Amino acid sequence: MTTSLEPLRRIAAYAVCADSNGRVLLVRASERSGTPGTWSLPGGAVDHGEDPKHTVVRETAAETGLSVAVAGLQDVLADMRALPERHITIHTDRLLYTVSVRGGTLTERIDRPTDLARWFTLDEARELPLRSFTARALGLPTSTDDIVPEEVPEFPSFYAVPGPDGLHRAQRFAAYAVVTDPEERVLLTRVSDGYPGAGCWHLPGGGTDYGEQPGAALIRELVEETGQTGRLVELLGVASHRDAASLGPEGYPIDWHGVRAFYRVVVDQPAPPTVADIGGSTCEARWFRREELGALPTDRLTEVTAEAVQAAHL
């Protein structure tokens, strides 16, 4: 039975690394891990406040002995698995980065969650017991022994816990969209009073639910916040922002770390925007023409909005 397991969430970042011969870098899970003997991309959990690109460099060095440089973002995906021996069910939002090796020497590790690092051709990797996200990243067939929970457990979209300094901490994964229509207008939402960034214009989107893929979450949020039906076009990037003392409707400071994937979305048949979630974090939605968007002062845009608009060359 997996319904009685404690649900957890985490954000993790991984390296997709190939050498000059086309071999890929993989690490083996040790007996100390939840999936001993399986192979996966180097990487691991994003620390609170850490930029995922730094996670990739740090974790790859620790697991393989190699120093890498991040070249770009390849994919963002989520999965859910049960670990009955640890009495937990875990949802992981995984950020996959393409990297190149700067130097170092492959090392083996003792008494760590991963114990071996090796280079494999794709044909060799195909014969290994690969974690499903690793097979997907390499374009190989997915087959896994992971136990999938029988049903999605209840888990709050916002979850803050006391940190080591006594201040509450929250690390949240979200998906947002740079939304355009056939007239090249851009759709933005305005943050309600009482929420961080109140009065600023923001991208449509929000936190993903437990067990939910980021793309599906984004299309759901788009309907809820603006009444528009859109289609995903491409992944633009990932933004990581920390507010060490964020103030929201909770009424007390929270050390907030938001990791947000942002996509380009097209609404083929735009309609007048409507906000369905009355009383929530969005109070208004509006289509902006390019010149209107360009005329908005920077301080009227949230951080992730300014970053995403720049990435989309708007």
Whether the predicted model's global pTM rises above the 0.75 cut = yes
Cβ neighbour number for residue 281 with a 10 Å cutoff:
20
- Give the pair of three-digit tokens for residue 124: 């060799």
Per-residue pLDDT averaged across 252-266, rounded? 95
pLDDT value at position 3? 60
pLDDT at 1 over 60: no
Percentage above 90 pLDDT, the chain: 76
Round to whole Å and give the CA distance between 169 and 71: 30
Q: Which residues pair with 246 in a beta bridge?
A: 254
Q: What is the pLDDT of residues 45-101, one digit of tens each?
A: 999 999 999 999 999 999 999 999 999 999 999 999 888 888 889 999 999 999 999
Per-residue pLDDT averaged across 115-133, rounded? 95
Identity of the residue numbered 200: C
pLDDT value at position 83? 83
- Give the pair of three-digit tokens for residue 62: 């620790």
pLDDT at 2 over 70: no
Identity of the residue numbered 270: P
pLDDT at 277 over 90: no
pLDDT value at position 86? 82
Q: Which of 143, 28, 40, 156 is nearest to 91 (CA)?
A: 156
List phi, psi (to 5°) of 126. Answer: -60, -30
- pLDDT confidence band for 5 (50 / 70 / 90): confident
Q: How many CA within 13 A on the CB side of residue 235?
A: 17
- Give the pair of three-digit tokens for residue 162: 């006391």
Round to whole Å and give the CA distance between 89 and 81: 6
Round to whole Å and give the CA distance between 109 and 113: 9
Give exposure, 198-230, as e/b (b: 16+ Cβ within 10 Å).
eebbbbbbbbbbbbbbbbebbbbbbebbbebeb
Angle at CA of residue 172, ends 266 and 211, nearest 5°: 70
Beta-sheet pairing, 168-180 with 254-266: parallel
pLDDT value at position 145? 67
DSSP symbol at 3:
T
Q: What is the pLDDT of residues 135-163, one digit of tens each?
A: 999 999 987 667 788 888 888 878 888 98
